[in-house]
Chain A
Amino acid sequence: MGKYILKRIVSLLPVLLVVAVVDFIIIHLTPGDPAAVMLGSQATEEELAKLRDQLGLNLPIYSQFGHWILGVLQGNLGWSIFMDMPVTQAIWEHLGPTVSLTLIAEVIAVLFAIPLGVMAANRRGSWMDQSFMMLALLGISLPSFWIGLNLILLFAVQLNWLPAAGYQPLSSGLANHLKYLIMPAVSLGIMQGALIARMTRSSMLEVLNENFIRTAEAKGLKLRVVTYKHALRNAMIPIVTVIGLSFATLIGGAVVTETVFNIPGIGKLIVNSVLRRDYEVIQGAVLLIAAAYVLINLLVDLLYAYIDPRVRYDKS
């Protein structure tokens, strides 16, 4: 197991290198530069040229890349021109809201999706199955920004129960923290939950047709035991995969939701940095997301072994 984990972590390095190179090239091929954003639209060409020079934007692209990648190898992701702080600090400051939002959204999604998926599978073809799956389809189809805006209109503007937008850290109190995150988490969780529910249903249906389930039923076990102890556990691998992937996607930035709810998370940081052409922040954040994506997938793979004893990573 240890060897396997080490191997996977080492295999992360070429992935990150490829991400770094592609990321750098795409960003630097995009026209526009941060000097224009910094100095405003009425700045003269002379002023823009001077700032570009100061920021090193006139250096050849290979030289800029070399400078940046050397820094990265030493643990320095660069400097945010716009925020005037190290990229690591900028990412760190924006990571908290995204992690909180992702966790709450996932909890909401899993809490609703797995029971719904199981119930739908147990009553395949019934009105309940059809209505749950229709709701799940709706959840996948409705854009999260639309759900978000409607939640704002209802719970913030009309009912005045929740704040329309913004973020309060956990240090301001759990209730306050949740008050700001519950609506964005629901609007995100609906889509992720819909995906998980559909996956749960189809995976459960497959398992419910297996012989060992019939055996369990023939032994006279209660439906609940058959469903949750025997069927669900065996159906969990694809479900855990979907949960892991959706978690990794959300960490990568719930871009639209963070924008609609004005949450200062990683997604918003990346969008703002693209608009400001704050190159090193984009590069650093994308690298971090790539790393998080690979690590979460590794975690999911490791979970397989826990869920299904037949899965073993050690040759012995």
Chain B
Amino acid sequence: MNKWFSLCLTIALLVSLIGCSSSTSTQGSSDGAAGQPTDHPAAAAAKEKNELKVALSVAPPTLDLHKTTAVATQQVSWHIFEFLVTLDQDYKVVPMLAETIEVSEDGKTITLPLRRQIKFHNGKTLTASDVVASLNRWKELSSIGRSALATATVSAKDSETVQIKLPQPSSAVLPALAYPQQGAAIMPEEVIAAAGEDGVKEYIGTGPFQFADWKQDQYIHLKKFADYQPVPQPPSGLAGKREALVDDLYFIPVPDAATRVAGVQSGEYDFADEIPFDNYDMLKGDPNLVTEITKPRRYNGLVFNAKSRLFSDVKMRQAVNAALDLDSIMMAATGNPDFYRLDPGLVYREQAWYVDSGKEQFNQKNPEKAKQLLREAGYNGEPITILGTRDYDFLYKTALLVMDQLEKAGIKVNLEIYDWPTLVSKRSDEKAWDIFFTFFSVFTDPTQTFYLDSRNQWPGWYSNPQMDQLLDEMRATLDFEAEKKLFEQVQELYWQEVPVIKLGDMHGLVAHRKYVKGFAFFMDLHFWNVSVQ
């Protein structure tokens, strides 16, 4: 009995160890193999149930889109709420809940007739008063809303038409209404009225999915909204026809990247976001999976404390900009050239706004010039403080590379590592730091680049009246080409003054089971028009 028992145990342990080590090699050998995809039983069940399980890297703090800039919130809330206008695949503002967009000749009145008989998830029909209440709340809570609609009056022309009146014409209003992060979500008037400082009590929108259930740290469950009325145009970007092709949509927060990867490999999740780049080759070879590089998604930035300490001197900032070799920094951050691109544009190449003015200041890789600028600035070898974080691995690697390159250029560096909430708290104190790293999402209009506008008081506190004036001129210019010319000047000035150094566009990596069809990345994840076949 004893012998039998000990033998069994030893064999079990050995099999498990051998299995584990062989699992890696089997994974490797399946690259390019003609093996038939074999779905996990759970995956088959998912298909039968017509549900989609999406593993997100973080849990959203709330689904109240007006309240937060957190990316996880938009990833879920976009499915519940809709905007008056949105962006097509050319990043052009097009109607969504509005039937059309009518701008008066003087540019001071924007009239937005609503599409008829649009239903909220509570059965109520959308009216102009819902839109007015929503926009007024959004304007209060969102910095982009405040900036675009600060002097505007939003009113109901009639029950099905919304009017925005402006003292001066502004080109910033429509892109702000379409801005998806902390976006101008339309909610029922009574939900807005019942919302306290803690946020809305119910998540009721007009989107293709309606809120069903939120089990904290487990899942957020959305279900298909049967009375959804899509726009007839074909899908394009965030615009066009939206259709809930699955009955149930689950967003599951899975902070551990290895668990997300294993989960999508095993079929526990149908879709996984933010896959670590070093898993790319392995997952690409998995016959059950599809991997997609999502771009444009974000750009990484080095933010200077331009208000106090050493980098309030523009020559010091220029010295750092001259010293950096961005290719090696982005390569260290991503580990693979497929996941980044170097580009001086403050908006992405894919956007109509794209300009490359100031490009000669980008990626100079010139430590000698940096030393010269440091001498001109009177730098005496005082140590600078860089705030770094391990919460985002790519930002940590970026910090290490930048530290190394700055030290080679003759700048002494103290690298302080914190978790992200601590870093965000520390960066509020202008006496505590010189440089920190972060990343920026896609802006729908260059004037939304919040760190350029001194009135936003964003940490870094860059302030230049010339820049503020140029941004205001852009906002007051309705002709796109004329506005783009002004943006060229903005970007030129940005690269001269470098309040932030754009390090490079960093893409994302997602993986999903092969049976998930119709996924199209645009600005962020969305799962309307996605089916489980």
Give chain A's interface residues, CB within 8 Å of chain B: 30-34, 36-48, 54, 82-85, 90, 93-94, 112, 115-116, 119, 128, 131-132, 135, 149-154, 156-158, 160, 163-167, 259-262, 264, 268-269, 272, 275-277
Give chain B residues whose Cβ lies under 8 Å from the Cβ of A36.
420-421, 424-425
When A36-B424, A160-B40 are in contact, do A154 and B13 touch as well, CB less than 8 Å? no
Known: A32-B419, A156-B262. 12 other contacts (CB 8 A): A32-B421, A32-B425, A43-B68, A43-B69, A44-B450, A82-B61, A84-B62, A149-B262, A156-B265, A156-B268, A165-B254, A277-B421
Give, as a whole number of angstroms, the nearest-CB distance from B137 to chain A: 14
Q: In the bound complex, do residue B457 and residue A44 qualify as a contact, i.e. CB atoms below 8 Å apart?
A: yes
**Do most interface residues of chain A lie in helix, strand or loop, or is the interface mixed?**
helix
Of B212-220, B237-245, B335-343, the stretch lying at the interface with chain A is B212-220
Which one of A32, A39, A132, A165 lies within 8 Å of B70 (CB-CB)? Answer: A39
Q: In the bound complex, do residue A42 and residue B422 qualify as a contact, i.e. CB atoms below 8 Å apart?
A: no
Q: In the bound complex, do residue B262 and residue A40 qualify as a contact, i.e. CB atoms below 8 Å apart?
A: no
Q: In the bound complex, do residue A268 and residue B217 qualify as a contact, i.e. CB atoms below 8 Å apart?
A: yes
In the assembled complex, the Cα of A119 lies from the Cα of B7 at a distance in Å of 13
Of B15-23, B103-111, B148-156, B474-482, the stretch lying at the interface with chain A is B15-23
Q: In the bound complex, do residue A150 and residue B20 qualify as a contact, i.e. CB atoms below 8 Å apart?
A: yes
Q: In the bound complex, do residue B23 and residue A158 qualify as a contact, i.e. CB atoms below 8 Å apart?
A: yes
Which one of A31, A41, A164, A264 lies within 8 Å of B216 (CB-CB)? Answer: A264
**Is B9 close to A, CB under 8 A?**
yes
In the assembled complex, the Cα of A259 lies from the Cα of B57 at a distance in Å of 12
Q: Return 18 A-B CB contacts under 8 Å, by A number.
A: A31-B422, A32-B419, A32-B424, A36-B420, A40-B71, A41-B69, A42-B181, A47-B143, A84-B198, A94-B217, A128-B2, A135-B9, A149-B258, A153-B262, A160-B266, A259-B259, A262-B263, A276-B421
With both beta carbons as reference points, the residue of chain B lying nearest to A85 in the complex is identified as B216
Give chain A residues whose Cβ lies under 8 Å from the Cβ of B496.
none
**Max chain A CB contacts within 10 Å: which of B20, B41, B199?**
B20
Give, as a whole number of angstroms, the nearest-CB distance from B260 to chain A: 8
Q: Give B262-280 interface residues, CB cut-off 8 Å to A.
A: 262-263, 265-268
In the assembled complex, the Cα of A149 lies from the Cα of B263 at a distance in Å of 11
In the assembled complex, the Cα of A262 lies from the Cα of B2 at a distance in Å of 37
Q: In the bound complex, do residue A158 and residue B5 qualify as a contact, i.e. CB atoms below 8 Å apart?
A: no
In the assembled complex, the Cα of A53 lies from the Cα of B143 at a distance in Å of 18
Q: In the bound complex, do residue B143 and residue A260 qualify as a contact, i.e. CB atoms below 8 Å apart?
A: no
**Is B456 close to A, CB under 8 A?**
yes
Q: In the bound complex, do residue B26 and residue A158 qualify as a contact, i.e. CB atoms below 8 Å apart?
A: yes
When A39-B69, A40-B182, A160-B40 are in contact, do A264 and B259 touch as well, CB less than 8 Å? no
How many A-B pairs have beta carbons closer than 8 Å: the answer is 178
Give chain B's interface residues, CB within 8 Å of chain A: 2, 5-6, 9-10, 13, 16-17, 19-20, 23-24, 26-27, 38, 40-42, 59, 61-62, 67-71, 73, 141, 143, 181-182, 197-199, 215-218, 252, 254-256, 258-259, 262-263, 265-268, 391, 418-426, 428, 438, 440-441, 450, 456-459
Give chain A residues whose Cβ lies under 8 Å from the Cβ of B258.
149, 260
Give chain A residues whose Cβ lies under 8 Å from the Cβ of B199.
84
Q: In the bound complex, do residue B16 and residue A131 qualify as a contact, i.e. CB atoms below 8 Å apart?
A: no
Give, as a whole number of angstroms, the nearest-CB distance from B101 to chain A: 26
Give chain B residues whose Cβ lies under 8 Å from the Cβ of A31.
418, 422, 425-426
Give chain B residues whose Cβ lies under 8 Å from the Cβ of A167.
218
In the assembled complex, the Cα of A152 lies from the Cα of B266 at a distance in Å of 9
With both beta carbons as reference points, the residue of chain A lying nearest to B256 in the complex is identified as A259
Give, as a whole number of angstroms, the nearest-CB distance from B488 to chain A: 25
Q: In the bound complex, do residue A275 and residue B198 qualify as a contact, i.e. CB atoms below 8 Å apart?
A: no
Give chain A residues whose Cβ lies under 8 Å from the Cβ of B438.
41
Give chain A residues whose Cβ lies under 8 Å from the Cβ of B40.
156, 160
Q: In the bound complex, do residue B197 and residue A54 qualify as a contact, i.e. CB atoms below 8 Å apart?
A: yes
With both beta carbons as reference points, the residue of chain B lying nearest to A154 in the complex is identified as B19
Q: In the bound complex, do residue A45 and residue B450 qualify as a contact, i.e. CB atoms below 8 Å apart?
A: no
When A31-B425, A150-B20, A275-B421 are in contact, do A164 and B266 touch as well, CB less than 8 Å? yes
When A163-B42, A164-B262 are in contact, do A157 and B422 touch as well, CB less than 8 Å? no
Give chain A residues whose Cβ lies under 8 Å from the Cβ of B9.
112, 116, 135
Q: In the bound complex, do residue A272 and residue B217 qualify as a contact, i.e. CB atoms below 8 Å apart?
A: yes
Which one of A30, A45, A166 lies within 8 Å of B422 (CB-CB)? Answer: A30
Q: In the bound complex, do residue A163 and residue B20 qualify as a contact, i.e. CB atoms below 8 Å apart?
A: no
Give, as a whole number of angstroms, the nearest-CB distance from B14 to chain A: 10
In the assembled complex, the Cα of A132 lies from the Cα of B2 at a distance in Å of 12
When A31-B425, A41-B438, A275-B419 are in contact, do A163 and B197 touch as well, CB less than 8 Å? no
With both beta carbons as reference points, the residue of chain A lying nearest to B13 in the complex is identified as A135
In the assembled complex, the Cα of A272 lies from the Cα of B419 at a distance in Å of 12
Give, as a whole number of angstroms, the nearest-CB distance from A269 to chain B: 7
In the assembled complex, the Cα of A39 lies from the Cα of B73 at a distance in Å of 10
In the assembled complex, the Cα of A39 lies from the Cα of B2 at a distance in Å of 61
Q: In the bound complex, do residue B424 and residue A41 qualify as a contact, i.e. CB atoms below 8 Å apart?
A: yes
Which one of A42, A85, A166 lies within 8 Å of B268 (CB-CB)? Answer: A166
With both beta carbons as reference points, the residue of chain B lying nearest to A179 in the complex is identified as B42
Q: In the bound complex, do residue A259 and residue B217 qualify as a contact, i.e. CB atoms below 8 Å apart?
A: no
Which one of A37, A45, A268, A276 lies within 8 Å of B458 (CB-CB)? Answer: A45
Which one of A33, A112, A160 lies within 8 Å of B41 (CB-CB)? Answer: A160
When A33-B421, A157-B266, A158-B23 are in contact, do A39 and B68 touch as well, CB less than 8 Å? yes
When A85-B216, A154-B23 are in contact, do A39 and B67 touch as well, CB less than 8 Å? yes
With both beta carbons as reference points, the residue of chain A lying nearest to B2 in the complex is identified as A119
In the assembled complex, the Cα of A167 lies from the Cα of B254 at a distance in Å of 12
Give, as a whole number of angstroms, the nearest-CB distance from B437 to chain A: 11
Closest 3 CB pairs of A and B: A40-B69, A32-B421, A36-B424
Give, as a whole number of angstroms, the nearest-CB distance from B449 to chain A: 11
